[in-house]
Amino acid sequence: MVSEPKFKNGIINRITLMDGCAILFIVLAHELEGTDTPDALFLNRYLAVFGLVLFTFSAGLKMSLNHFDEINDRTFLSNYFIKRFVRLYKAYIGYTLLAFVSYFSVLYISTHYLRLGFVDFNEWWGSLGLNELFNTLIGVNFVSAHLWYLVALLVITSVCFSIIYYFNVRALFLFTFPLAIFDIVYWDHLMLQSMVLFKIMAYMPVYIFGIFSGRYLIPHMNTNLFYGLSILFVVIFLFSVAYPESAVFRYDILVYGSTFPLAMLFLSSYLLDLRYIDQLLLVCGNYSFQIYLFHWPLILPVLSRFVLGMLSLNYFIMPYFVTVLAIVSSIFAYKVVRRMRLNILFE
């Protein structure tokens, strides 16, 4: 077992490593999507949820830890929210524009010259209209569908900060209970009405739990309690594997959002002792936001089609190799864009 002083030290590295695991899960989930191998069918049930749960919890946790004494200050909240809004929505719009130009060019060349078999350019271009442009502004992105998460996180932040601003942070924590009940009761209805709205409501308790953990659990929790919560996550996870139609899997975002992040924080103490693995995950964590932006819609799909399709390297290990290659390529692409100073569009 990890000693208590060791566990309480280096929280920044543990959070960074957790972000690295999150982006690894998300990129791998996108790579395995649509694959019907046994490992893919199993992992696809968990990877995306695990990754987004970690990201959402981490966002709340970092906000709480970094601004522990300022969280109830209205002036701070106003200034912080403006900065948060600009950062998230600028990234959303800016990267959409950058990705649109790249995606437009690749589809045009693929359709008219190389015949690579991507989405047909003429059909894609003909399907665009004012409705698609409007939907893009509110999170249903026709270029980079994965960017819905930035809009969702922006709405989650807006609601949570409004509650803290007009009341206090304890009112936000109390708000979690009726919010969770609402989610459970209207789970299916929300899914049918709007997937973005559903995900906003489902991931909001995870963000609040991150703030709560940073304010009360992380500063005071001992190793034994973290160890116990990690065991609880393992038990719940194994139960969901054995009974995939149970309520655990049905309400997976809520269930894993309240257990998995703390288990990962505990596990990170061990991962930081693993040479090379810790370095890989820390690099992924430091560039997690950029990797999330850049890996889609071009880098991962193109690499996957090239390796699995054109080269016909359909071995068991190849999707995992493509995932790592896509992460490295995303970091490289970001650095090229930054050197060209085009990062001003989204940073």
At 68 the three-state DSSP class reads coil
Q: What is the DSSP code string of 91-108?
A: HHHHHHHHHHHHHHHHHH
Stretches where the chain sits below pLDDT 50 are 1-9
- Residues 210-222 have pLDDT tens digits of 999 999 888 777 7
pLDDT at 47: 96
267 Cβ contact partners less than 8 Å away, ≥ 6 residues apart: 230
How far apart CA 190 and CA 87 sit, in angstroms, is: 28
Residue 85 burial by CB count (10 A; 0-12/13-18/19+): exposed, middle or buried? middle
Q: Which helix (H) or strand (E) holds 277?
A: helix 277-286
113 Cβ contact partners less than 8 Å away, ≥ 6 residues apart: none
- What pTM value is reported for the model? 0.91
pLDDT at 28: 97
pLDDT at 311: 66
